[in-house]
Structure 1
Amino acid sequence: MSNPFEYKDAMNALHYTDEQKALLAAQAAQAAQSARRTGRHTRRPLLRTALIAACLTAALAVTAGATGVLKSAAEAFAPIFGGSAAQTEIIDKIGYPVGASDTAGGVTITADAVLGDRYNAAIVFTITRDDGTALLPAGAEDAMLLVRGGGVDLNILGGTHGGSWFVDEDPTDDTVQLIQTISSDVPINDCTATAKFEDLWLWDEESGESVPFAEGTWKLRFDVRYEDASVTLGGGETFTQDGLAFTIDAVTVSPVAFKVDYTVDSEVRWSDSGSGQQSEADSREMQRYFENVEILLNKTDGTVLDLSGAGGSISPDHGTTVCSKSNFFSEILPMEEIESIRVGGVEFPLA
């Protein structure tokens, strides 16, 4: 699938038109449905449905509402990122309850809690039908869910990327959870976020179109503040591959996410094709400077997690190329369970 944006402007300032958002949603939904048909799991087995939406930023006119019962961070996140005693302790330490909400069309969206580290944040939202009836239409238990409107904007001067998905443990009740993760190239653990959502949709596989099942616009504003439990390793280590020399600037690891910053000794060259899509030449450059950089996390129990497919940014800079790769883990990892992280063959011990 070709990406509908210009690679030559780097990946840390992505903007999509409504048409591109619809295309991304359709292509991602088709891929996810195909994966489900062939028996492959999505992000984690817990998922019953998945959100297909572009991670965007936008300037929003924001309103906020009060909620009823304020959930603790552990209540909000433990069912999603792990609920062991050690994981719950970490959530209680670095999680931050929010409780901002907005109501439209008989549906309320509430930002329950946020957690993260210096460069990565996760926000969990609860979507509830106010009259207590089932949120999803009958027969839609296995349908893909979508939402539009831009999602969360951290209002920071930096590039971001991330992902979103729904969790619906009981499709017959009046509630689903929406989780959005955001990774940034600048610190984000002390800022004010805004969020905007427009309509809730089901993906109709037969027609190849999305169909709204709850209409409205929801706008929220809330603080993104939590304890940063990350550690920063390295600085100046080098490795070579694909005919390039890489210098590792920093490796940041926390119980919930990671970030690797590095500089390449030559400047990435984009094709300037003008099509707005990734050419074969640009794909090769992306592989050499970004995608082929291997990142492995070694756990103390011998498990190895391949983090190489993380998103991030790549920016030409006066004869060099400055890159960053970061992402949230699929579960909370106590720091004592992380033995080391390996970048391009260079190992950074934690234990």
Structure 2
Amino acid sequence: MAAGTSPQQFEATIDAAQASTEQAGTDADADAGGDWLLKLFAQTEQRGDAATAPPPSTDFIREGISLFGDGALSSDYAFARTALQQLCIPTPIASFSHDDASQTITLNAPRDLQERLRVTLPLEVRDEHHRYALCAHKSRMAQAIEQARQAKADEESWPALHYLWQQHPIMDWLSDRVLTAFGRHRAPVIQCPQVIDGEQAFLLMGLIPNRKGQPLLIEWQVAVCNAGAWTLQAFPDFVARTRFKAGTLANRNQGIDTAALQANLPGAIAAMKQHMLALQRRFAADMTARLSGTLADLQRLQGRQIEQLELRLAANQQAEQFKKTRREQRTQHIRKVFDEYRQWVQDTMTTEPQPFIQVLAAAVQ
């Protein structure tokens, strides 16, 4: 899957390997036990050693863009440390300590976090004193996991460290607390020296939901206004151009006149809306074709369900009146199930025509 191999190509490889093994006179008992599959992977590994070894599947995983971390420190650790430090000004929200060498944060969970962890973490993972150590150092985490595996039956078998990554509930809590630090309908204004003189940049997120309110398209763009002209720049390109990264921007502790930004904000929204509507039209056309195929498959499946019902009733030796009642009940149930599923498919695969646009931040020189 990581290499992009299609199911048909993989199936052909498996079938060819099995046929080759059978022709070579492999032991029948081994074949019956499925050993030919093990031999396939052994042969593949030997071929990789003899020639050029294939790249590991992890090479196909792209690292997400982050404004935190400097190579030496994990981006997740740098974000968590910075978020806690910022949220504790002026009133601490929790007592915590951090260690850059081991990339570990030790946190005493406040009341709102305790309530969240009571729902999101299993009982055996929660600490009775509500004290959690999160580590982003992979080798230390592997060591902690191995120590937990070697624990005796009467000892604690869960690692003493939690892995510090984006999916941890404590990271979700931190993200929510950072977002709520800004008031409603507000966004930060950031002074960035690398922004061109006179240029204004609005970091925007566009979202296209389906009829159920679930996001189908999410796009981050930067609307750049320069001398009255608007252009859209992909967020990674803007970050690379302006070296927009935490730790590189000095807080001048000076007020910023946002009148010009407020005046240009409608133009940024209009440019982003036009971009999202173009994406929505292309996406909706593709989804419409897929929806037509799915509905046609459902119609054929419903017809086969009715056919199977008729076959079972024809083989039934009971009275005709009983079979008539049974036919009406089952037919009504089949239609109800398929009608509900059709509606679910249509609501899931049909996009709303109007995008949701959120202003994440603005950047000026």
Output the TM-score relative to the length of structure 2: 0.20
Larger Rg: 2
Tell me which protein shows more strand as a share of its residues.
1
